[in-house]
Amino acid sequence: MSDFVPFALPEIGEEEIAEVVDSLRSGWITTGPKTRRFEDQFREFLGHSDLHTVAVNSATAGLHLALEALGIGPGDEVITTTHTFTATAEVVRYLGADPVFVDIDPATYCIDPEAVSSAIGSRTKAIIPVHYAGLPCDMSRLCDIAAASGLHIVEDAAHAFPAAWDGRLIGTLGTSATVFSFYATKTIATGEGGMLITRDEGLASRARVMRLHGIDRDAFDRYSSRRANWYYEVVAPGFKYNMTDLAASLGIHQLRRARSFLERRTQLAARYDAALGDLPVELPPRPCAGSGHAWHLYVIRLTDRAPVGRDDLVRRMFDCGIGCSVHYIPLHQQPYWRDRYHLSADQFPCSQKLYERGVSLPLYTKMDDAAQDRVISALRSILC
Ligand SMILES: *Cc1c(COP(=O)(O)O)cnc(C)c1O
């Protein structure tokens, strides 16, 4: 029996390791010069000098900070998709506001813009679209809808680095904020980490203050020369969301490899496409013209003709030594969300169908062709 093919695996190279060691030896292991360098290089990667990049210790933190800076609070509603990880919606509850869940578009598995439009009410303040699997949402339509009702858009881009809409990188579209994740399984990984992107200077400076206890750095800078560097001012009850230089050390080198990582992921996705087309499965939605897929996930959906169900398929793949996963158990199925907002599956038929029939196949840059061929032949033996 050959080795287990995991569902996901980060690719950490010698440069990343040396950079972490360099930080360890320097004695500066929390937020410092490496975090600043990672923020600067991330802005350069996105190619817009007017963007602000705020490094944080998770995408969840970044989403929370963005909504906080936008003034979202009790009585407000934020529209998002049921087909996401709980972090997308929990940040709305952190602030005492309420998420309003809508279904996905079966053609993209991303939030359905028409459903967003119908869900807008007098309390709606923002929309959180999720670029599911790394495929961008229909941002043109969503931006039109948001503009017509005066709503903010905060993009959950946890899957979407790097991805593009209408020829422009996600993060540069001019929405209120975009948040990327560098969690261990994401397209670039720092263990835990995230980056908040915004063009709004006020939002960026509020997020910078709130990511570190509500300490106002400008006050610090203003007074530090006169009063030495012990002086600071607390202007709000902030959070502990700062990125460490250890994580940033990984991020700096992961970022440099992001293009080649994407190339490999795209190649692997194309190999799956070519090998699975005749099976009783629907292949993942394609990007439309001008859009670029980050290929964080490769999700197939069993058709009516499939001889096994999703549970059996995942179990039998595991028996073949292959790790698969399901993205996601939709939020309308999770006790907290279901009970608090009286949600049921019939309100979200497209998400429910993807949940019941969707399987995420192994996809990671360190997967070689031989390992992928094993995944393919196991799938073929179960589904043919
Ligand atoms: C991973 C993920 C998050 C949270 O990212 P963290 O960096 O772990 O906080 C949020 N939304 C989606 C869709 C994710 O996949």
Same domain? 247 vs 120: yes
Q: How far is CA 204 from CA 73, 172, 240, in A?
A: 18, 15, 16
> Tens digits of per-residue pLDDT, 10-42?
999 999 999 999 999 999 999 999 999 999 999
Q: Judging by beta carbons within 10 Å of its beta carbon (0-12, 13-18, 19+), is residue 122 exposed, middle or buried?
A: exposed
pLDDT at 224: 54
Query: Is there a contact between 29 and 243 (Cβ–Cβ < 8 Å)?
Result: no
CA 33 to chain CA centroid, nearest Å:
25
C-alpha dist (Å) from residue 269 to 135, 264, 286, 369: 13, 9, 11, 11
Verify that 191 and 288 share a domain, yes or no: no
Which stretches of the chain drop beneath a pLDDT of 50? 1
Which CATH number does the domain housing residue 320 bear?
3.90.1150.10
Final residue in a domain of this structure, among 256, 271, 291: 256
Query: Best of 181, 192, 295 to mutate for ligand 1, by most ligand atoms within 8 A of CB?
Result: 181
The pLDDT score that the predictor gives to residue 62 is 99
- Assigned domain for 346 exists: yes
239 and 371 part of one domain = no
The pLDDT assigned to 214 comes to 97
Same-domain status, 25 and 125: yes
Alpha carbon nearest to ligand 1 atom 2, residue: 158
pLDDT at 229: 72
Supply φ then ψ for residue 267, to 5 degrees.
-60, -45
Mutate to test the pocket of ligand 1, among 64, 78, 81, 85 (most ligand atoms within 8 A of CB): 85
**Residue 6 domain flag:** no
Confirm whether 2 is domain-assigned: no
Both 207 and 287 in one domain: the answer is no
Do 181 and 252 lie in a common domain? yes
Same domain, 173 and 252: yes
Domain membership of residue 8 (yes or no) is no
| Residue 212 three-state SS | strand
Last residue of a domain, one of 238, 256, 274: 256
**60 pocket-lining for ligand 1 (C-beta < 6 Å):** yes
Residues 103 and 210 in one domain: yes
Using the mean position of ligand 1's atoms as its centre, give its distance from the Cα of residue 182 in Å: 8
Tell whether omega for the bond before 10 is within 30 degrees of 0, i.e. cis: no
How high is the pLDDT of residue 47? Answer: 97
The residue behind tokens 């439309």 is: 288
Question: For the chain, how many structural domains are there in total?
Answer: 2
Residues 58 and 147: their CA atoms lie apart, in Å, by 28
Strands 177-181 and 152-156: parallel
Domain that holds residue 92: 14-256
Residue that terminates a domain, selected from 256, 274, 307: 256
Give the domain CATH number at 247.
3.40.640.10
Hey, what are 228's tokens? Answer: 């030495």
Residue 31 in contact with ligand 1 by CB distance below 6 A: no
H helices of 192-327, in order, are 201-210, 217-227, 245-256, 258-276, 310-319
Residues 6+ apart with CB under 8 A from 352: 330, 332, 345, 346
Indicate whether residue 156 lines ligand 1 (CB < 6 A).
Answer: yes
The response to whether residue 159 sits with its C-beta less than 6 Å from ligand 1 reads yes
**For the CA of 60, the nearest atom of ligand 1:** 9
142, two tokens: 């969503």
Catalytic residues: 186
Distance between start and end Cα atoms, the chain = 22
